[in-house]
Amino acid sequence: MDNMTSEFPSGTIPELDYSEPPAGSDRRTFMVRSAMASAIVALGGTANPLWAQAPAEGQLVKLDPNLQVVKDEKGPVMTLVDEFYKVGPGPSSSHTIGPMRITYDFYQRAIKLPQAELDKATALKVNLYGSLSATGKGHGTERAALAGLIGHEPATIDPVAVLDKMAAEPEKIYPVKLGTKTINASLKDIIYDATKGDFPHANTMKVSLLAGDKVLLEQEYYSVGGGFIEWKGYTPPKKNPPKYPYKTIAEVLNYTKRDNISIAQLAMANETSISGKSEQEVNAFLDKIIGAMRATVKTGLAAPTSTLPGPIKLKTKAGDVYKSAMNEAIPARKAIGMVSAAALAGSEENARGHLVITAPTGGSAGVMPAVLYSLDAAGAKVSDQKLREGLLAASVIGYLCKHHATLAAAEGGCQAEIGVASAMGAAMIAQALDAPPQVVANAAEGALEHHLGMTCDPVAGFVQVPCIERCAFGAVKSWTGYLIANNEIPANRRVDFDSTVQALAITAKEMNSKYKETSEGGLAVSLTLC
């Protein structure tokens, strides 16, 4: 260092700049530019002073304040498990399940029109905007939208018989009954419209019933993430007040201390008070979700190695990874391999377009089933009741992320899908293993924190690369989050879950749109397909 400094006259080496970046700038880009400018000066060049001062351009997500998902941030959490955990076809809750729910909803509205109006109908049209238009081809959005128009719902559809057949017969015409009138619909009626624009949500679509050029019925919809949908003028259904009204995990933890209850018990109390259902009815639904998660892992592990649909030509590997893991002699390696294989199995089922469970989304559909699998008979061997409690605790984590941030990759990148799923998985593990509420919260925080900033960059718009392996890493991080939280002194944790959710929301808003499920950045442009 002495030889180096002696080459420069006194005062010519720039000192470190500890000042804050200009308002409106991207902090990382500002710091990188500052460092580069300093390096050029140190090497004898002349730096442009504007480099370190000009704010970096950002593309902020602007959500319509009238969206219910935005309004919900101001009140207590009112989401229920049967709204949150949904069964439907992959590969995306926002691009497949949401659009199918939307067009099915529109069909139900259309058939309620007077028959005299329906007799004039000549066509049904669906216009896809924003992210739905940008990556809808790779997600099978047009097939999902058409399936809803002809009367199919996500939870009951046979993806192989309906969606796969549509892919194999793209020119096929489908009859749509409107009372006594029948009109035809096909994939040509699903229009990939503008990818850029001032839309109320990144996943916007419009559905129309037409009589020639005349509009008989039209509705604008939004697929807001996790299979949740809204529409222009949406009013949420009335619900009963929760027993434990909360907006933060801090409030949840205060209730658990006051009443000496677990997070799962708090969640169950709210489920019954808000919905009016009995605990037996809530548990019956949770058992359906447990069964569906078991089935998606079992099916994915049993599937022979094959090539997934689409231009990537990606080979499946869940079964191979599982067989290798089962032959591993070292317990830790075997456990990690088993969790990874189960996550790959669920995620490959999603990529095939088969039925999966939103927990919280289709893109993250491998994480929670893998966590459940590792807690179930193949792993920790906890009881079904403990699995139910784990799903309830996980739902609280998911609700808070939905409430204050987002579950949609089109709005917040992959941190909103894999990150939230991993946090939910960590909470499920902690709750199922009877950890105290603070450990449940800390486990979720750790898993979410270490997904912050993760982009959504699906290659060719297909939920395959990097999405499938991300589910495996997310499931492993669920266990990492739990193990760290369970082995530390809980009160010593410096970062709380509420702060991390706030960071998720801020990062989502400031993330460039290229990294939000548009396939315009990251691996989507770095990987060349041959």
Confidence of residue 72 (pLDDT cuts 50, 70, 90): confident
Rounded CA gap, 105 and 456, in Å?
28
Q: What is the pLDDT of residue 29?
A: 46
Q: Across the chain, what does the average pLDDT equal?
A: 89
Rounded CA gap, 80 and 402, in Å?
12
| pLDDT over 70, % of the chain | 88
User: Per-residue pLDDT tens for 126-178?
Assistant: 999 999 999 999 899 999 999 999 999 999 999 999 999 999 999 999 999 99
| Residue 405, token pair as written in the block | 């941030």
| Residue 3, token pair as written in the block | 């030889």
Counting Cβ atoms within 10 Å, is residue 53 exposed (0-12), middle (13-18) or buried (19+)?
middle
User: Looking at the predicted structure, is the pLDDT value of residue 369 above 80?
Assistant: yes
User: Per-residue pLDDT tens for 33-70?
Assistant: 444 444 434 444 444 443 333 333 444 456 777 787 77
User: Looking at the predicted structure, is the pLDDT value of residue 507 above 80?
Assistant: yes
In whole angstroms, what separates CA 61 from the centre of its chain?
A: 16
| Residue 276, token pair as written in the block | 């009016």
Are the CB atoms for 276 and 287 separated by under 8 Å? no
Over residues 364-371, the mean pLDDT reads 98
Backbone angles phi, psi at 282, to 5 degrees: -65, -45
User: Per-residue pLDDT tens for 213-222?
Assistant: 999 999 999 9
Q: Where are the beta strands (DSSP E) in 186-281?
A: 190-192, 203-211, 214-225, 228-231
Q: What is the pLDDT of residue 530?
A: 66
Q: What is the pLDDT of residue 394?
A: 98
Among 17-31, 264-278, 376-390, name the one with the lowest average pLDDT.
17-31
Q: What is the pLDDT of residue 41?
A: 42
| Residue 494, token pair as written in the block | 């410096």
CA of 455: how far to CAs of 60, 103, 231, 238, in Å?
A: 15, 29, 27, 36
User: Per-residue pLDDT tens for 374-409?
Assistant: 999 999 999 999 999 999 999 999 999 999 999 999
Over residues 22-32, the mean pLDDT reads 46
Q: What is the pLDDT of residue 75?
A: 87
Confidence of residue 529 (pLDDT cuts 50, 70, 90): confident
Q: Is the CA virtual torsion 150, 156, 162, 164 positive or negative?
A: positive
User: Per-residue pLDDT tens for 86-133?
Assistant: 999 999 899 999 999 999 999 999 999 999 999 999 999 999 999 999
User: Looking at the predicted structure, is the pLDDT value of residue 85 above 50?
Assistant: yes
User: Looking at the predicted structure, is the pLDDT value of residue 4 above 90?
Assistant: no
User: Per-residue pLDDT tens for 316-364?
Assistant: 999 999 999 999 999 999 999 999 999 999 999 999 999 999 999 999 9
Q: What is the pLDDT of residue 47?
A: 40
Counting Cβ atoms within 10 Å, is residue 28 exposed (0-12), middle (13-18) or buried (19+)?
exposed
Beta strands 86-89 and 355-358 are antiparallel
In whole angstroms, what separates CA 285 from the centre of its chain?
A: 21
Q: What is the DSSP letter of 421?
A: H
| Residue 253, token pair as written in the block | 């933890």
Please give the model's pTM, rounded to 2 decimal places. 0.83
Beta strands 203-211 and 174-178 are unpaired
Taking the alpha carbons at both ends of the chain, their separation in whole angstroms is 49
Over residues 499-509, the mean pLDDT reads 96
The dihedral formed by the CA atoms of 346, 349, 354 and 355, expressed in degrees to the nearest 10: 0
| pLDDT over 90, % of the chain | 83
DSSP-based three-state secondary structure for 13: coil
